[in-house]
Each structure stands twice: as C-alpha cells, then as structure tokens.
C-alpha cells in the first residue's frame, strides 16, 4: 500500500531512500525554529489543521478554492485543510485579543496543505515556521520581525554570504502608482504584474503595464533607484543598531502575490539564487479586522518559512549534522544469570537521564558489541560479577571497573 | 468566524478561557514524551495525516468508515484523515524494514482524527504518543514497552499511587475460549463481549456469553483467579528486575476492542478510577503482514497515549507547572538616545542564548517596568550611560552595574 502522492513519510536516519523525509532533520529544524522564536519572546500557538472553508475564501477570494484540499464533512460543512496559518491566527487573535497585552508576539509550526495539479516531485504538504507580531504599527516591529528572520537562518549556521533579505514596501509601490495616476480599482492588478516581473518576458511586461497606464521603463527605473522610503530607512537603521544591516537590501522587485499585504514586504533568498524563496512575509494591517467581521482592528505583520527549501539549502551548504540514535550506553549481557542485574542498571541509567540500549534477548557477545558500535553508543557497560561493572568508552577505548551503583558517576 | 466543532485552538498561557487548549501545556507534554522515548532508544518517525482510505479499511473492516473523516479528493481518490497511527507505521515498516536492524523501536506524536456524532465536549482530534517495537516475539519486548509506558507517566511526576497498568493477554483468553469449546468463527465476538463486560449489565452479559456457549460465572471466575500465564509471568519478572513491578497488575478484564491484537494487551488507568484509560496497547503480530499484502512478516507491539486524559489527570493531581513567557532579561529603554545601544544589547544577549524582551516603541519607564514584571522576567537591564548597564534581579532585587559588553557575565 502506498502513501498519497505529494506527501512525505518521515523515517529515522540513516534514510532508506533519498525520496523519503528525515524525521531527525525535521525535528532538528523545528528545535532551531522554536528556540530562536523563544529568545525573541515569541510564544507558541496552534490551531486546527481543518478550518471552515469560509475562513480562507473570506481572506483570499473564491479563486483560492482551486488550490485547496477542501471537502464537505458528514455534517454538511464546507471545510478545508489549512493552506496557510495567517487566517487561523487572525481568527484566534480576534476571538481573545483582550486577554493578551500588545504587541502580541506569537509563533507556530503548522503543517500546511495545497492541492494543486500534481507535478513531478511537487509536494502537497509542508511545514512552515510562522512568526507574527500583532498590535504595533511602528516600523520597529518590522525590524524586530526581520531580525528574528535573520537570526533564525543564522541559527542553522547560515551567514551573510549564504542568504539575503530583500526588503520592499507596498507603500512605496502605492505612492508610485498614485503618482503615475493609476486607476485605483486596478491597483492590485498592478501589484500582481510587478510580482511576476522577473518571471515574465519584457514584451509581456510592457504590454501589461501599458494597459495599466505605466511604462516598463518607468517601473524599472523606480526599481533600480532602490531608494528606501522613510519607513524602510527606519527599519534599516534599527537593524544596523543590532549589527544586522548587512543581511538586508532594499529590492522593489519584491511585492508578494497575496492580496492582503499593506506595508513592508520581504523575502529571504539564498545568496547564489539557486533556490526558491526561503521565507516571505510582510504587513497585513487590515486582515484581523476582515476576519473578525469588523469587530477587532489590529495592525499586524508576519512571515512564513517552509521546511522544504530550507532543508535543500542546508544540505547544499553542508549544514545538516549527521543524525544517529544518540545512545549513551549500550549494556552488554553476556551471562544470563546477570540479566536481572543488567535490567536494573538499564533502569537506573535511564532514570538518571541517559539513553540506554541493550539486547532484549540472548545474543552472542560479539553481536552485541557490533550492535553497540552500529548505534554509535558512547559507552558499553557489562557486569563482571553481580556487583562490578566494566565501562568502556568506545571512542577513547578507555576502560574502568566501577561498583554497580556507581556507574553513572563514570559516564561523561 | 468560529473553529470547527470538536477541534481545539491552542493559546499561549495564561489562557483566555477554560475551553481553549494550552499550547504551552501541549509542548510540555510532547517534550516529556520525546525525552523519555529517546532514553529508551526509540527513534522518531511520522507519516502523512492523510492516507488512502484502504489503509484503514484493510486493517479494521468497512465499519470503521462510519467513524472516519473520509472524503474523495480532486483526483477521485478515497482518502481519510488518520484515526490511528498503527496502519501508517505498518505501511512504513513494510516498505523499508530491510534498512533497519531489528528490533525496530520507533515513536511518533501524531494528531489523530475521528468523526463521530458530536457529543458535548467530545473532541474530534487529539494528539497521541505512539511507541512501537517491531521484530521481536520474546516477552522481553513486552516488558521493555511496558517499562517505557511506566517511565513516561513517571516523567510527569505520577507515582504508583497515581496510576496502574492492567496487564492481560489475548492468548490467555484464547486458551480459555478453546478449553470451553467455543466456536472458532465467533472468537472475536467473544473478545468484544469481554471488552464490554464492565460497561454492560450482568443480565446482558449472561445472555451474550450463553449465546457463545459460556457462562458469566465461568468468565468471572477466570478473571478473578488473575493467574498470570507463563508469558505474563516473564513480563512481571522482567519488570520486577527493573524495580517496576508495583506499577503493574494482571487484570483479565482488559482485552482491547480492536480486532488486530494477538498476544499481551494492557491499559494504564489512574489509580482512583476517575478517568478513562490513559494509554493502551498490545501485540499485533499479524498486522505488518496484512498491510504489506503478505510481503513482510514481522511481529510487533505498541501503545498509544493520548494528550486529553493525561492532561486532565495532571491537572487533577496538581502536576502541571505554571507556564509563562520565560523571559530572562527585559531591557528598559528610558532614553531614546540610548536605543541603538539597547538594540545592540538585545541582539548580543539573544545571540548568547537569553530570551530578551523590550519595548519596541517609546514608553514611560514605569510602564516598561510593569511589563517586565508581567512577563516574569528574571532581570531588567538599563543603559545608565552609553557604556554602563544597570542589571537588576527582579526576584532577589539585587542590582549591579556592569560594562556594556559584560552584561551576560552577570546573568545567572
């Protein structure tokens, strides 16, 4: 029986095949995400993987339905597997924002789902680190969030020669659009044209922009100027004070595809340009109001960082550690008369916090030792009599004999 | 907009309402599960939350469909949200077992889904710690798994006066059934009657058992004898060697409802009998073969422990810690001329591993201090000039002035 196309199984390492996911690498990534978020004072939340379909169509329009895992449940409800976390976050904040002091700084690590037409190797699920800051309009909030994004990537050993944050602003584009006397009703259409600029031919870009009353030249000149707005300059200065200025450049190519962004927008890319975006985000000052039906009005911003591109990048840069069973002690049982003593030692060492393995059943002594080596155990321990234990460090090959109740004191 | 009935939102503590989940308590539980499993040499795995419907009907028959979140996807596939982890595990092991030395010791923490008729407060999802041991028939494996179950519960501070493992055996019941000359075709029907014995009236039990050729008296006598089989005695002796004998009692009331169990079965209950089962499991020696279509034949056993009953029990016994933001240092910015210096300190302390908070924008000094107290920060730190920082321990109220580059050396 096979798993569904576009989904991953996560196995312990070493992996049986290159086409399955690594549970160890996944947990390694989650741990870094969680640790860095907590250092920044972000608190964890989560919502259901299933939500009412309305939650997503309210935010993104009916056209999103074509990309969703959506269905009707047995209670005749139109529901969907979450394709992104922000609507759930907005729903949760709107429901209970009075309980939390502003700014709210929250993170989550949801699994997200999209049902797009199957392409070779294209996944229908991924995990995404989401960090959001709610209730603050000041660009200091944008700087704090960008600093978190930078430090999250740095926590994996990535440096300023590995990645760059391309910082931009819908406000800057909005000003550009207004100065060019664009038709307000077509502003989002204009943003979408900018979003696709780098992936579209010059002829097609010229055609689309002309239809909107703009020239490709004017657009390119604006992008190439790269002049930060006062808002962006404030973010850059804030990051400079932290020593993080070199990780960020203003790049007006970035505008983000989603309709709901309102202010600064940004994306993280690998410096060599080999991969898709590592992370992306921006301000969405109107979304909480929209989701709450006008009841709660809070400015907000956030970013998402998926596990798939990040993992590819870490592999390519040699930044994924080797994962093993992390066994501290393998207990050798060579005399079945000493098995009860050995089980007691297994228990005592586990209680003391060590990861302990042993052969469940009778096994030849060389087979047990080989297993200890395969598991990369740090030590073996073996009862020599009913009261003395021989401890061997498999790396240094040092040996010592200790009293049965004194073994833990001889482990590093 | 509301979340779906039967689902939980998980908020950071303190919680806005008693009817929402705690993301902090959830992570606390996950951490204990993960840590204990690793001490026992179990490795983490995971599968997709969506699986082909067949995977579950193959194992449990068509009647399970009534309890599933199942639907047809846009590719016309019959699929379901996983109601349990064991079929996914069997599928994954069958696909790649050659890559892993036996016994395979794996754990997972999946979210599971059931669509049963909505009852007040009844959840349609929960998280479950799953630990399985594959490839070993010896009762030493059953003992190892029960020891893990016991130590998992002990890791939360629960003691032998808080919970008990009721250990039983389908083999014992199978022998009883054969000695009583039961009709082999109705053996599972008999197991189901035993499973419901304690929740059914004596009259109804008598009627069901008589129809199967047994008397309620004979069944009760067998249960009350409580005599361990050789297999169960071996498990008890093994646990006794570890000093864990007092956590387990033989109780033939336990037989487990699911069809696929083959040998030992067990459930963990709170000692006062106030809650539903905390955990349950047993041997399923034929399942891997069934799921793999006969290709792979491996004995196996495992247990599942849900988050819901465990959380209720921990609350009732006062074993849930108070959760807060875990802020180490709150940096006070009272002079905007010193904000750049303060941001640098924020950055340096976070890089050093501390959780650091500060006011993003200009705020009155008493408001900042109040916020530091609300966050239960351990320290405040404030630039007194551009090179000296006053550090205050909010618990001991001790204060010290340190050089700006020397702050971390004065934090505990």
Domain boundaries, chain A: 10-316, 329-410
Size (chain B), residues: 412
Q: Where are the alpha helices (DSSP H) in A277-356?
A: 287-291, 307-316, 339-351
- As a whole number of angstroms, the distance between CA B122 and CA B37 comes to 29
pLDDT of residue A120: 67
Fold category of B10-316 in CATH: BirA Bifunctional Protein; domain 2 (3.30.930)
pLDDT at A343 over 70: yes
**Dist. CA A180–CA A221, nearest whole Å:** 13
% pLDDT > 70, chain A: 99
Minimum CA–CA partner of A118 in chain B: B75
* pLDDT of residue A177 exceeding 90: yes
Point out the least confidently predicted range of A67-81, A88-102, A193-207: A67-81
Would you say the C-alpha torsion B100, B102, B104, B105 has a positive or negative sign?
negative
* Pairwise CA distance, residues B158 & B148, whole Å: 14
pLDDT band at A25 (very low <50, low <70, confident <90, very high): very high
What chain A residue is nearest to B87 in terms of C-alpha separation?
A: A1
Q: Which pLDDT score, from 0 to 100, does residue B120 have?
A: 67
Task: Give yes or no for a contact between B269 and B163, defined as CB atoms under 8 angstroms apart.
Answer: yes
Q: Are B4 and A51 a contacting pair at CB < 8 A? A: yes
Q: Which residues from chain B sit within 8 angstroms of residue A125, using beta carbons? A: 48
Give me the pLDDT at residue A40, please: 98
**Confidence grade of residue A412 (pLDDT, cut at 50, 70, 90):** confident
CA angle A195, A198, A202 (to 5 degrees): 110
Check if the beta carbon of residue B169 is closer than 8 Å to that of residue B140. Answer: no
The lowest-confidence range among A71-85, A132-146, A302-316 is A71-85
- As a whole number of angstroms, the distance between CA A211 and CA A205 comes to 10
Average pLDDT over residues A180-187: 93
Contacts of A242 in chain B (CB under 8 A): 343-344, 346-347
Nearest to B347 by CA among A31, A267, A154, A301: A154
Judged against a pLDDT cut of 80, whether residue A60 lies above it is answered with no
Cβ distance A73 to B71 less than 8 Å, yes or no, reads yes
Residue A337, helix vs strand vs coil: helix
Query: Could you tell me which chain A residue has the CA closest to the CA of B91?
Result: A1
Strand arrangement, sheet containing A78-81: A50-52, A78-81, A70-72
Give me the architecture of the A329-410 domain, per CATH.
Answer: 3-Layer(aba) Sandwich (3.40)
Choose the mutation target among B17, B32, B46 for the interface with A, i.e. most A CBs under 10 Å. B46
Residue A258 tokens read as 């989603």
**A104 to chain B: nearest residue by CA?**
B12
Answer for the pair B300, B290: CB distance below 8 angstroms, yes or no: no
Contact across the interface for A58 and B361, Cβ inside 8 Å: no
Interface test with B, best of A46, A67, A109, A147 (most B CBs within 10 A): A46
Interface test with A, best of B21, B25, B41 (most A CBs within 10 A): B41
pLDDT higher than threshold 80 for residue A63: no
For residue B93, the chain A residues in CB contact (below 8 A) are none
How far apart are the CA of A16 and the nearest CA of chain B, in angstroms?
Answer: 6
pLDDT at residue A47 in the model: 98
Q: Which helix (H) or strand (E) holds A171?
A: helix A170-179
Residue A84 above 90 pLDDT? yes
pLDDT at B257: 81
CB B339 within 8 A of CB B361: no
Query: Which of A3, A136, A351 lies closest to B47 in CB terms?
Result: A3
Tell me how far the alpha carbon of residue B38 is from its chain's centroid.
14
pLDDT given at position B136: 98
Position A118 pLDDT exceeds 80 = no
Sign (positive or negative) of CA dihedral B30, B31, B33, B34: positive
Residue B310: closest CA among B205, B155, B86, B148? B155
Asked if pLDDT for residue A74 goes beyond 80, the answer is: yes
Interval A178-205 mean pLDDT: 94
Partner-chain residue, chosen from B3, B49, B55, that has the shortest CB–CB distance to A51? B3
CA–CA dist A215, B131 (Å, integer): 62
Burial, B28: exposed, middle or buried (Cβ in 10 Å; 0-12, 13-18, 19+)? Answer: middle
Å between B170 CA and nearest CA of chain A = 22
Who contacts A401 (Cβ-Cβ below 8 Å, separation ≥6)?
A384, A388, A389, A390, A391
Residue A276 has a pLDDT of 93
Check residue A260 and give its pLDDT. Answer: 85
pLDDT at residue A18 in the model: 83
Tokens for A304? 């998402």
Count of A-B CB contacts under 8 Å: 233
Q: Which of B9, B270, B240, B48 is nearest to B153 (CA)?
A: B270
Q: How far is residue A170 from each of residues A165, A221, A233, A261, measured CA to CA in Å? A: 16, 17, 14, 7
Residues of chain B with pLDDT under 70: 118-121
- By residue count, chain A amounts to 412
Contact yes or no for A164/A271 (Cβ under 8 A): yes
Average pLDDT in chain A? 95
Closest chain A residue to B341, measured at CA = A241
CA A412 to CA A64: how far, in whole Å? 55
Nearest to A1 among B14, B49, B54 (CB): B54
Confidence of residue A56 (pLDDT cuts 50, 70, 90): very high
């Amino acid at each position: 029986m096979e798993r569904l196309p576009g989904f991953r199984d996560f196995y312990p390492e070493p992996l049986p095949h290159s086409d399955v996911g690594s549970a160890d690498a996944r947990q390694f990534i989650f741990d870094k995400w969680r640790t860095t978020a907590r250092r920044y004072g972000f608190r964890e939340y989560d919502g259901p993987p299933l939500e009412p379909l309305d939650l997503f169509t309210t935010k993104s329009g009916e056209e999103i339905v074509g990309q969703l895992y959506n269905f009707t449940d047995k209670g005749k409800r139109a529901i969907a597997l979450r394709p992104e976390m922000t609507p759930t976050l907005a729903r949760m904040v709107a429901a209970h924002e009075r309980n939390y002091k502003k700014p709210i700084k929250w993170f989550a690590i949801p699994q997200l789902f999209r049902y797009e037409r199957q392409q070779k190797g294209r996944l229908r699920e991924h995990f995404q680190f989401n960090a959001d800051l709610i209730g603050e309009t000041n660009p200091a909030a944008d700087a704090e969030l960008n600093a978190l994004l930078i430090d999250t990537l740095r926590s994996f050993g990535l440096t300023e020669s590995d990645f760059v944050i391309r910082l931009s602003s819908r406000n800057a584009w909005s000003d550009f659009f207004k100065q060019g006397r664009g038709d307000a009703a077509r502003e989002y259409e204009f943003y979408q044209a900018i979003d696709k600029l780098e992936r579209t031919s010059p002829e097609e870009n010229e055609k689309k922009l002309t239809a909107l009353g703009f020239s490709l030249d004017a657009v390119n000149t604006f992008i190439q100027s790269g002049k930060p707005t006062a808002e962006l300059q404030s973010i850059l200065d804030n990051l400079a004070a932290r020593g993080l200025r070199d990780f960020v450049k203003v790049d007006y190519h970035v505008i983000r595809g989603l309709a709901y962004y309102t202010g600064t927008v940004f994306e993280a890319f690998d410096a060599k340009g080999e991969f898709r975006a590592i992370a992306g985000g921006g301000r969405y000052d109107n979304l909480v109001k929209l989701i709450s039906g006008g009841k709660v009005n809070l400015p907000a911003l956030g970013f998402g960082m998926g596990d798939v591109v990040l993992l590819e990048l870490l592999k390519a840069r040699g930044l994924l550690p080797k994962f093993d069973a992390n066994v501290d002690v393998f207990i050798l049982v060579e005399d079945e008369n000493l098995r009860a003593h050995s089980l007691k030692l297994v228990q005592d060492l586990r209680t003391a916090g060590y990861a302990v393995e042993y052969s469940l059943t009778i096994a030849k002594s060389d087979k047990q030792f080989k297993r200890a080596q395969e598991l990369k155990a740090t030590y073996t321990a073996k009862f020599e009599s009913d009261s003395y234990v021989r401890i061997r460090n498999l790396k240094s090959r040092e040996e010592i004999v200790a009293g049965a109740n004194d073994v833990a004191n001889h482990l590093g």
